[in-house]
Homo-oligomer: A and B are copies of this chain.
Amino acid sequence: MHTDLVAALDIGGTKIAGALVNSGGELLVRAQRPTPPRGSGEQVMAAVEGVLDELAASTLWQSTRVVGIGSAGPVDAKAGTVSPVNIPGWREYPLVRGVRDRTGGLPVTLVGDGVAMAAAEHWQGAARGRTGALCMVVSTGVGGGLVLGGELHPGPSGNAGHIGHISVDLDGDLCPCGGRGCVERIASGPNIARRALGDGWRPGPDGDASAAAVAAAARAGDPVATASFERAARALAAGIAATATLVEIELAVLGGGVAKAGEVLFAPLRRSLGEYATLSFVRGLEVVPAQMGTDAGLIGAAAACRDVEPG
């Protein structure tokens, strides 16, 4: 085992997770804090520092050489700042400087959480050994990251692969991002549930009106629930096909809660891909489920350090 470790941070709107990760992708020490809801910038940073201090208390800390951060976006890897939509206290917040200061000047690599997930799938998951892949999280939002030419493609700012906010319906509904007809506006969990409810689907006695409940209804044959998943699949297919047509990928990897719907999503997705991925060089595109579990963010933040220059 290589003795050099990465201190990995996975920063989201709900929790801030950290781990010391070895060169085999094993998480040797873990720490976690809740993200202070509606916290000030300093309060959120204090939670990050708490996680770092807990990691630094380990005897393994002396082998830690770099810090990798995967953060809810948008991020700005050049400036070292983050402005996560779901962490209002942080707007162009100088996270990299803060982490560097707290760790005695370790080099820090920052990428968006979709990029981190792609890094994890490329290192140890469904995209292992692949030349071109789009790795997506379909959940409350829709995010992603790209592998191009066999390497992670974070883009200059660390945000590349943001497939949730490309328009596949230029006259479509306004998206909270300001755009129109974005993939996320059609295919995210809340939008799958909203569309099913709007079209007359009703939750069962437990009152569960989530996308998971819509998926269960679709599996049981409910036509409105099925149609809502088919619509989501169509938007995902158009977005994945666009990505393949633009940059040539051979594989799309889907993770996140909505992807857990399984064939309710994947079957219409593969059908729709045939409608949108039409040119010869994209026709062989595969779509598979993600393989990494809940630690994908941490493993990906560690993996990103291998591929990306520290800021």
Contacts and interface: CB of A to CB of B under 8 A. Distances in A.
Interface of A: 74, 76, 83, 131-132, 146, 148-149, 153, 155-157, 159-163, 165-171, 177-180, 234-235, 238, 241-243, 245-248, 250, 275-276, 278-281
B156 A131 contact: yes
Contact of A179 (B148, B170, B241): B241
Contact of A153 (B76, B83, B247): B247
Contacts of A234: 170
A113 to B, nearest CB: 14
Nearest to A75: B281
Contacts of A235: 170
A159 B283 CA distance: 13
Nearest to A78: B281
20 contacts: A83-B280, A131-B156, A132-B156, A148-B148, A149-B153, A155-B281, A159-B279, A160-B246, A163-B246, A165-B278, A166-B246, A168-B168, A168-B170, A170-B234, A170-B238, A179-B241, A179-B276, A179-B278, A242-B242, A246-B246
A281 B165 contact: no
Given A160-B248, A168-B168, A247-B247, 11 more contacts: A74-B280, A148-B148, A156-B250, A157-B281, A162-B279, A167-B241, A170-B235, A178-B278, A179-B241, A179-B278, A246-B246
Contacts of A131: 156
A279 B165 contact: yes
Contact of A247 (B146, B165, B167, B279): B146
B246 A276 contact: no
B167 A242 contact: yes
A245 B278 contact: no
Most B CB contacts (10 A, CB to CB) among A146, A169, A170 go to A170
Contact of A146 (B74, B166, B180, B246): B246
A146 B248 CA distance: 11
A156 B247 CA distance: 9
A168 B235 CA distance: 10
A276 B180 contact: yes
A39 B59 CA distance: 74
A234 B170 CA distance: 8
Contact of A169 (B171, B178, B246, B278): B171
B275 A76 contact: no
A4 to B, nearest CB: 26
Nearest to A163: B246
A241 B148 contact: no
B281 A159 contact: yes
